[in-house]
C-alpha cells in the first residue's frame, strides 16, 4: 500500500481554487457568483433601509438590540466576503501575474471600497467615535454596489467605444437587442425604486405607519422623484437616437406622448404640483396617483406588452363587443327603471342608479343590494343574466385567443431565427444568446429552447440527408438514362450503391406494370430461361408489386 | 481601452438641466423633510401631554393629589375647574408645558378649536376633542369647549393639525 501523503500546500491551493470558482469567478456558468453578488447587493439595500428606519426614535428605542444584531450580522458577512476575496485573489487572472497579488488587490479601488464598508464598525470598537458619525459612516456601504456596476460599465464601454454620449445614454435607458448588462442594471434599479415607492404609498395609508414613518416616507419619496425625473429626462433627451424619433423637437414630443412616458410623467407630477400649488389648493389627494408608478413596471413586462398589443390588434372586435355591452346596459337599466321604479323608488330612483344594477347583474357580480321584486323586473334580470355571461365573455375570449396566437407566432419566429442561424450548421454562443433574449420575450423556457434547438438541428439533418439523396438519385437517373452503371462508384460509395439498387428495383417494378405478367411468368418458370434466384425475385415482385 | 464621454455642447446643456432638476427636487424634498420634522416635534409634544395626562389620572386614582389643582376634576377638587383654567395653568409661565410652542409656525397658537383651512392659525396646533359615547356605542367627537367643567371620567382625544389641515390623532385619554 502506498503511504498517504498529506500535502497541506496542495490542499490550500485546491480549496482556494474551489472557493474562487464557486463564488468569485464570473466566467464560470452555473456557479454561485451571481447568487453571492445579488445577496450582497440585497444586504446593502436592506442596510440602507435599516438606517432609515433607525431614524425613527420610537422604533429604534424599542428594537435597539435587533438593529444592533442586524448590524453585527451584516458586518460579519461583509468581513467574511472581504477576507475571502483577499484569500482567493491569486486565482484571479487580473492579479495573479502581480508580484504580490494580495497586496496589489488590497490597494485596488474595489478592495478599498469593501474595506471602508466595514472599517467604521471596527474603528468604533477600539476608538471612541460619536455614534451619529459611526451611523453616517455606514452609508459608505453603499459604495459596495459599485462592485456590480463597474464591470458592467467596463463591458458597456468596450461594446460601445466611440459612440456619442447621447447614444450611450440611449443604450442604457432603452431596451436594445444587444447583451447590455448596464441596461439590465438600470432597469433593475428603476424597478426596485418603483416597488419601494409603491410599498411606501401603500404603507402610508396605514395610520400607525404614517404616524411613525412620515419623515422616512418623505425622504424616500423625494429620492424616488429624483430618480424617476432623471430617468424621464434621460428618456426624452436620448430618444432622438431612435430612427423613429430623429427630429430634435417632434421626436421628443412624440416620445412624450407615448403611453409609457405619460405614465412616467404622471408618476412624478404629484410631487411638483403639491410643492407648487399645495399652498393654494389641498392637493393631498394627488398622492394616491403615486401608485401610478406601479404602471411603470409595464415597460419592463413583456407579458403586459403582449397583452396591450393583443388588445390593440383585436380592438375592432372589442369595440363592437363593448358597444353591444353598452347598449344592453342602457336598455336593461331603462327597463329596470320602468318596471321597478314604482315598486322600489328608493333603489331604482333614476336611470343612472339602474345602470349600476344592470352592470352588477350583467357582470354576474350580483351584490344583491339592489334587486328586482316585480315579475317583469325579475324576468328582465333573468334575460340580462343569461345574455351577460355571453357578452362579457367575448372580450375575454378574444383577448385570450389573440394572446395565444401571439405566443405561437413568437415561437415560430424563434424557430425561424434558429433555422437561419443553423444554416452554417453551428449555433455560436452569440447566436444562442440572441435566441435566449428572443425566447425570453415570448416566455419560452430554457428547456423549450433546448428542445427547439434540437428540433431545428434534426430537421436540418433530415433536410440535408433528403437533399443528398435527391442529388444521388439524379446522378443515377442520368447514368441509367445513358444506359450506364457506374460499378466503380458503387464499389466505393455504399450509399450510391444502395440508391442504384433501389433505382434498378424501381425499374423492375415499372417493367412488371407494363409487361404481360402471365406469359412472362411462364417464360421464366422454364429452367432454361432463368436461374432459381431470378425466378424467386420475379415471383416476389409479382406477388408484392409495391 | 480609455473611456471617453464624448460630450458635445447639447450634452453639457442636458447635464446642466439634469443637475438643476436634481437640485430642485432636493430643495423641495428638504422643505418637505423639515415640515415632516416639525410635525414629528408636534407629535412628540402631543405624546408628552398625553403621558402627563395618564400620569395625572393615575395619581388621582391612587388618591395622590396631583398638581396642578386647576386640572383636578369636580369632586376631587373643592371648587369646579374649567378646561380653559387647566390649559392656561399647564401652558402658562409656570406650567408644566410652558416651553411648548407651535413647531410648524411659532406665531400660531398652541391649541386650536378645530383643524380647518378656514382658520389658518390652526396649522400645527393641538386639537382637543371631547368624546361622548352614544347609546349605540358609537363615539361622538365635539370640540372641548373652554367652559367645559372638568369631571372625573371626562374622555377626550388629542390631535395635531398638520400643514395641510389634516388632523393627526395622537391618542385618547380620560380624566
Predicted ipTM of the assembly: 0.86
pLDDT per residue over A490-521, tens digit each? 777 888 888 888 888 888 888 787 788 888 88
Closest to B42 measured CA to CA, from B164, B165, B159, B173: B159
Q: How far is B116 from chain A (nearest CA, A)?
A: 11
* B40–A215 C-beta distance less than 8 A: yes
Q: Which residue has the higher pLDDT, A1 or A264?
A: A264
* Whether the predicted model's global pTM rises above the 0.95 cut: no
Contact residues for A453 (Cβ-Cβ < 8 A; gap 6+): A418, A427, A432, A435
- With a cut of 90, say whether residue A252 has pLDDT above it: yes
* A237–B22 C-beta distance less than 8 A: no
Measured CA distances, A138 to A75, A116, A118 (Å): 10, 9, 8
Confidence of residue B21 (pLDDT cuts 50, 70, 90): very high
Probe site for chain B from A215, A287, A290 (most B CB atoms < 10 A): A215
- What's the pLDDT at A56? 77
| Grid cell digits, residue A234 | 434621460
- With a cut of 70, say whether residue A5 has pLDDT above it: no
Directed axis angle between helix A315-340 and helix A375-421, to 10°?
170
- With a cut of 80, say whether residue A441 has pLDDT above it: no
Cβ proximity of A535 and A524 under 8 Å = yes
- What's the pLDDT at A6? 59
- What's the pLDDT at A545? 60
- With a cut of 70, say whether residue A164 has pLDDT above it: yes
Q: How far is A226 from chain B (nearest CA, A)?
A: 6
Confidence of residue A253 (pLDDT cuts 50, 70, 90): very high
- What's the pLDDT at A236? 95
Look at residue B74 and give its three-state secondary structure: strand
- What's the pLDDT at B45? 92
Task: Spell out which residues of chain B touch residue A157, defining contact as CB-CB under 8 Å.
Answer: 1, 3
Task: Spell out which residues of chain B touch residue A165, defining contact as CB-CB under 8 Å.
Answer: 5-8, 11
Confidence of residue A368 (pLDDT cuts 50, 70, 90): confident
- What's the pLDDT at A411? 78
Q: How far is B99 from chain A (nearest CA, A)?
A: 22
Q: Which residue has the higher pLDDT, A430 or A318?
A: A318
Q: How far is A282 from chain B (nearest CA, A)?
A: 7
Determine contact: A401 vs chain B, CB below 8 A. Answer: no
Of A163, A165, A284, the CB nearest to B11: A165
- What's the pLDDT at A456? 78
- What's the pLDDT at A334? 94
* A158–B43 C-beta distance less than 8 A: no
> pLDDT averaged over chain A?
84
- What's the pLDDT at A482? 66
pLDDT per residue over B145-163, tens digit each? 888 888 888 899 999 998 8
- What's the pLDDT at A458? 83
Stretch (H or E) spanning A4:
none
* A158–B28 C-beta distance less than 8 A: no
Contact residues for B158 (Cβ-Cβ < 8 A; gap 6+): B46, B49, B50, B126, B127, B128, B169, B170, B171, B172, B173
Determine contact: A206 vs chain B, CB below 8 A. Answer: no
- What's the pLDDT at B1? 53
Task: Spell out which residues of chain B touch residue A272, defining contact as CB-CB under 8 Å.
Answer: 28
Confidence of residue A194 (pLDDT cuts 50, 70, 90): very high
What percent of chain A is helix, strand and coil (3-state, nearest 5)?
Answer: 80, 0, 20
The stretch B27-37 carries a mean pLDDT of 91
Q: Which of residues 324-383 of A touch B (CB under 8 A)?
A: none
- With a cut of 60, say whether residue A2 has pLDDT above it: no
Task: Spell out which residues of chain A touch residue B104, defining contact as CB-CB under 8 Å.
Answer: none
Of B11, B21, B25, the CB nearest to A166: B11
- With a cut of 60, say whether residue A24 has pLDDT above it: yes
The stretch B67-85 carries a mean pLDDT of 84
Confidence of residue B3 (pLDDT cuts 50, 70, 90): low
The stretch A392-416 carries a mean pLDDT of 83
Main-chain dihedrals φ then ψ at residue A304, nearest 5 degrees: -65, -40
Task: Spell out which residues of chain B touch residue A232, defining contact as CB-CB under 8 Å.
Answer: none
The stretch A124-134 carries a mean pLDDT of 73
- What's the pLDDT at B47? 92
- What's the pLDDT at A331? 92
Confidence of residue A227 (pLDDT cuts 50, 70, 90): very high
Q: At CB < 8 A and 24+ separation, what contacts does A134-142 make?
A: A135/A51, A135/A54, A138/A47, A138/A51, A138/A71, A139/A48, A139/A51, A140/A116, A141/A44, A141/A47, A141/A48, A141/A74, A141/A78, A141/A117, A142/A44, A142/A48
- With a cut of 60, say whether residue A3 has pLDDT above it: no
Amino acid at each position: 500500500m502506498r503511504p498517504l501523503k498529506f500535502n497541506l500546500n496542495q490542499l490550500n491551493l485546491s480549496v482556494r481554487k474551489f472557493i474562487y470558482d464557486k463564488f468569485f469567478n464570473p466566467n464560470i456558468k452555473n456557479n454561485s457568483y451571481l447568487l453571492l453578488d445579488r445577496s450582497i447587493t440585497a444586504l446593502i439595500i436592506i442596510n440602507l433601509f435599516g438606517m432609515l428606519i433607525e431614524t425613527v426614535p420610537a422604533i429604534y428605542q424599542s428594537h435597539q438590540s435587533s438593529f444592533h444584531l442586524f448590524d453585527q450580522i451584516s458586518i460579519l458577512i461583509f468581513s467574511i466576503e472581504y477576507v475571502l476575496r483577499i484569500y482567493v485573489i491569486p486565482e484571479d487572472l487580473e492579479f495573479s501575474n502581480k508580484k504580490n497579488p494580495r497586496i496589489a488587490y488590497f490597494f485596488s479601488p474595489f478592495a478599498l471600497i469593501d474595506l471602508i464598508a466595514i472599517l467604521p464598525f471596527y474603528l468604533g470598537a477600539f476608538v471612541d467615535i460619536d455614534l451619529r458619525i459611526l451611523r453616517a459612516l455606514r452609508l459608505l456601504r453603499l459604495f459596495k454596489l459599485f462592485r456590480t456596476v463597474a464591470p458592467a460599465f467596463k463591458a458597456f464601454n468596450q461594446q460601445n467605444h466611440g459612440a456619442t454620449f447621447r447614444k450611450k445614454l440611449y443604450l442604457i435607458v432603452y431596451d436594445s437587442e444587444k447583451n447590455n448588462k448596464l441596461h439590465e442594471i438600470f432597469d433593475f434599479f428603476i424597478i426596485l425604486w418603483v416597488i419601494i415607492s409603491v410599498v411606501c404609498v401603500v404603507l402610508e395609508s396605514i395610520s400607525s405607519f404614517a404616524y411613525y414613518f412620515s419623515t422616512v416616507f418623505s425622504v424616500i419619496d423625494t429620492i424616488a422623484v429624483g430618480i424617476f425625473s432623471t430617468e424621464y429626462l434621460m428618456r426624452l433627451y436620448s430618444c432622438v437616437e431612435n430612427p423613429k424619433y430623429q427630429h430634435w423637437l417632434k421626436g421628443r414630443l412624440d416620445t412624450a406622448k407615448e403611453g409609457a412616458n405619460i405614465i412616467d410623467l404622471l408618476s412624478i407630477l404629484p410631487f411638483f404640483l403639491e410643492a407648487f400649488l399645495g399652498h393654494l389648493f389641498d392637493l393631498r389627494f394627488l398622492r394616491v396617483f403615486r401608485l401610478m408608478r406601479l404602471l411603470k413596471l409595464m415597460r419592463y413586462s413583456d407579458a403586459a406588452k403582449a397583452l396591450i398589443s393583443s388588445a390593440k390588434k383585436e380592438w375592432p372586435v372589442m369595440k363592437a363587443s363593448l358597444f353591444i355591452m353598452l347598449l344592453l346596459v342602457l336598455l336593461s337599466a331603462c327597463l329596470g327603471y320602468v318596471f321597478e321604479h314604482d315598486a322600489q323608488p328608493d333603489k331604482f330612483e333614476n336611470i343612472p342608479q339602474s345602470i349600476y344594477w344592470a352592470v352588477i347583474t350583467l357582470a354576474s357580480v350580483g351584490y344583491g343590494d339592489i334587486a328586482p321584486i316585480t315579475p317583469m323586473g325579475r324576468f328582465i334580470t333573468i334575460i340580462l343574466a343569461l345574455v351577460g355571461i355571453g357578452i362579457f365573455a367575448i372580450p375575454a375570449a378574444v383577448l385570450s385567443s389573440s394572446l395565444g396566437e401571439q405566443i405561437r407566432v413568437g415561437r415560430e419566429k424563434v424557430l425561424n431565427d434558429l433555422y437561419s442561424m443553423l444554416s452554417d450548421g453551428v449555433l455560436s454562443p452569440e447566436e444562442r444568446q440572441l435566441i435566449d433574449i428572443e425566447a425570453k420575450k415570448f416566455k419560452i423556457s430554457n428547456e423549450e429552447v433546448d428542445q427547439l434547438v434540437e428540433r431545428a438541428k434534426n430537421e436540418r439533418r433530415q433536410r440535408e440527408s433528403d437533399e443528398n439523396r435527391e442529388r444521388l438519385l439524379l446522378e443515377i437517373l442520368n447514368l441509367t438514362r445513358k444506359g450506364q452503371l457506374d460499378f466503380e462508384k458503387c464499389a466505393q460509395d455504399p450509399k450510391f450503391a444502395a440508391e442504384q439498387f433501389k433505382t434498378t428495383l424501381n425499374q423492375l417494378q415499372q417493367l412488371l406494370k407494363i409487361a404481360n405478367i402471365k406469359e412472362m411468368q411462364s417464360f421464366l418458370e422454364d429452367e432454361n430461361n432463368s436461374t432459381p434466384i431470378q425466378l424467386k425475385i420475379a415471383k416476389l415482385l409479382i406477388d408484392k408489386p409495391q | 481601452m480609455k473611456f471617453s464621454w464624448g460630450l458635445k455642447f447639447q450634452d453639457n446643456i442636458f447635464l446642466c438641466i439634469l443637475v438643476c432638476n436634481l437640485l430642485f427636487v432636493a430643495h423641495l424634498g428638504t422643505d418637505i423633510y423639515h415640515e415632516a420634522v416639525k410635525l414629528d416635534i408636534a407629535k412628540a409634544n402631543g405624546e408628552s401631554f398625553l403621558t402627563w395626562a395618564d400620569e395625572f389620572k393615575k395619581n388621582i386614582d391612587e388618591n395622590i393629589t396631583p398638581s396642578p389643582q386647576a386640572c383636578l376634576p369636580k369632586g376631587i377638587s373643592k371648587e369646579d375647574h374649567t378646561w380653559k383654567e387647566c390649559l392656561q395653568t399647564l401652558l402658562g409661565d409656570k406650567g408644566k408645558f410652558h416651553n411648548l410652542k407651535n413647531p410648524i409656525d411659532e406665531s400660531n397658537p398652541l391649541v386650536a378649536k378645530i383643524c380647518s383651512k378656514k382658520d389658518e392659525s390652526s396649522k400645527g396646533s393641538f386639537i382637543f376633542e371631547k368624546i361622548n359615547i352614544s347609546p349605540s356605542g358609537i363615539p361622538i367627537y365635539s370640540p372641548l369647549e373652554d367652559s367645559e367643567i372638568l369631571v372625573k371620567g371626562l374622555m377626550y382625544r388629542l390631535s395635531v393639525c398638520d400643514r395641510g389641515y389634516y388632523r393627526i390623532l395622537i391618542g385618547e385619554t380620560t380624566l
